[in-house]
Structure 1
Amino acid sequence: MLQMRPGCECCDRDLPPDSADARICSFECTFCSECANQRLAGTCPNCGGELVPRPSRPAGKLEKFPASTTRVFKSEGCSAVP
């Protein structure tokens, strides 16, 4: 089950579970679409994996399986993998 992390690792923008702007890699590193596209060129700076739209979780399932509340934020910012 996806963690559904609550924010972008680059800019700390809120990304609620129903956000269409969330992008993730296979390790669930989470970024907003702006950072994923503009800063990172679609590649995760942590693992080098592809960043893809995060699937949404149906509202009824969020009650039983809530999204994570743990934020991951790189205060130094992030940049694309060379």
Structure 2
Amino acid sequence: MLELRPNCECCDRDLPPEAKNAVICTFECTFCSDCAEGVLSGSCPNCGGNFSARPIRPAAMLAKYPASTRRVLKAEGCASKSAA
């Protein structure tokens, strides 16, 4: 089951479970689409993988399986691996 992290790891923008602008990589690194496309050029800075739209968990399932409240933010800043 996806963790559904509450924020963009790059800019710390809130990404609630119903956010249509949330993207994830295969390790569930979570970013807003603006950072994923702009700053990161479509490549996860943690694993180098690509991004997919994060699925939206239906409300009934969200009540039973709530989203994470743990915020993850890249302390060293946010830049793509190709820029590093």
Name the TM tier (shorter chain): over 0.9
The one-character-per-residue Cα deviations of 1:5-35 (angstroms, maximum 9, x if unpaired) are 0000000000000000001000000000000
**Aligned partner letter, 1:15:** L
1:29-54: per-residue Cα shift (whole Å, max 9, x none)? 00000000000011100000111110
Distance 1:57 1:24 in 2: 14
Counterpart for residue 77 of structure 2: 77
State the Cα RMSD in Å.
Answer: 0.7
In the alignment, the residues of structure 2 paired with residue 49 and residue 66 of structure 1 have an alpha-carbon distance, to the nearest angstrom, of: 26
Question: In the alignment, which residue of structure 2 is the partner of 1:31?
Answer: 31
Q: How does 1:1-80 map to 2 (within 5 A)?
A: 1-80=1-80
Q: Once the two structures are aligned, what percentage of the paired residues are identical?
A: 62
**Uncovered stretches (5+) of structure 1, i.e. residues with no partner:** none
Structure 2 stretches of 5 or more lacking a match?
none
Aligned AA (2:80) = A
Measured in 1, the distance between the counterparts of 2:51 and 2:81 equals 12
SS of corresponding position for 1:34:
helix
- Count of residues in correspondence between the two structures: 82
